[in-house]
Amino acid sequence: MTAMILSDNVIPRADVIKRAVRIGAEIRNVKLSGDLPEQTIASINGLLLEHKVIFFRGQLHLDDAEQESFAIRFGELTPHPTLGAIKGTASIIELDSTRAGSRADLWHTDGTFVDAYPKIAVLRGIVMPPFGGDTVWSNTASAYLDLAPPLQGLADRLWAVHSNAFDYAILARVSELDKKHLDEVFTKTIYRTEHPVVRVHPETGERTLVLGALVQNFVGLPKYDGQKLFDLFQSHITALENTVRWSWRDGDVAIWDNRATQHYAVNDYGDQHRLVHRATVAGEVPVSIDGRSSVTRITGDHQAV
């Protein structure tokens, strides 16, 4: 309630346009920068916790430095564990559709192959195609609430292994160049992390589902049974009523709570150019409802696996 009151006092509710009932809001009349007052940053954070993903149109003034200057107001910046960060930045990765490995057309939460995966991502659209290239987000907290109580109880007890060494078969469209990029860059070090299927959100106290494309198996379950359960839980996450879709324009910024969402970059724009830069804010190690923490095991380099 305090966060909502603060938001009303700093960012008027008239400037907060809901995009769907369960997730997503567009925030108007805010120019993002690293110099925003502390109350404005707190208000943005409150709106983020409430709506899970928030959008800002027309932030054309931002460059990489200012994007990170804004993102760092929400916590420590963190580079990608295997991709690193582009030169001169602390955390930014570039997703350029003209290069291999830049089309994330699968449902995922960023970085779950490590324990303390990012808590917040700040994505800036630099070159967007005139049509296609939308991104879709889903609310993993409302997905948990949609589960019948017996299924909630089952999910509460399950743990899953996440890894960056995922199977190419889960990718609908993968080229030989994409495979080369995955082998030589994305999976140059193999991480395997055990996460609770249900984590307790450290700021809201909500229970959120931790699944997505990086899941390899459930701990203690045969692969066949685990796949059936994965499909069941994941279907609640990606139900259309649980999602919001954003049609990008140049200069747009999307900020999402990576602890309570999954997302999917729709690969429907062909050879048109799509270029985005993403900054990430370091997150906490997830904690299950019984107080246990996620555990990462680094397997080694790709060739040794």
Beta bridge partners of 194: 161, 295
For residue 84, tell me if it sits in a domain.
Answer: yes
The reported pLDDT for the residue numbered 82 is: 87
Distance separating alpha carbons of residues 152 and 236, to the nearest angstrom: 12
Q: Which residue in this structure is represented by tokens 């502390």?
A: 38
The reported pLDDT for the residue numbered 219 is: 97
Q: How far is CA 235 from the centre of its chain?
A: 17
Q: Please check whether residue 284 is in contact with residue 78, taking contact to mean a CB–CB distance below 8 angstroms.
A: no
233-238: average pLDDT: 98
For residue 5, tell me if it sits in a domain.
Answer: no
The reported pLDDT for the residue numbered 2 is: 46
For residue 28, tell me if it sits in a domain.
Answer: yes
For residue 226, tell me if it sits in a domain.
Answer: yes
What is the per-residue pLDDT across 11-34, written as a single tens digit (0 to 9) for each?
Answer: 999 999 999 999 999 999 999 999
Number of folded domains that form the chain? 1
For residue 216, tell me if it sits in a domain.
Answer: yes
What is the per-residue pLDDT across 43-76, written as a single tens digit (0 to 9) for each?
Answer: 999 999 999 999 999 999 999 999 999 999 999 9
For residue 51, tell me if it sits in a domain.
Answer: yes
CATH code, 216: 3.60.130.10
Helical spans, DSSP H, in 95-222: 140-146, 149-157, 176-181
Helix (H) / strand (E) containing 85 = none
The boundaries of the domain holding residue 118 are 11-295
| Residues annotated catalytic, as ranges | 108, 110, 263, 278
For residue 130, tell me if it sits in a domain.
Answer: yes
For residue 4, tell me if it sits in a domain.
Answer: no
What is the per-residue pLDDT across 168-225, written as a single tens digit (0 to 9) for each?
Answer: 555 656 666 655 556 555 667 899 999 999 999 999 999 999 999 999 999 999 999 9
Whole-Å CA distances, 139 to 119, 153, 269, 286: 14, 19, 25, 17
Helix, coil or strand: residue 119: coil
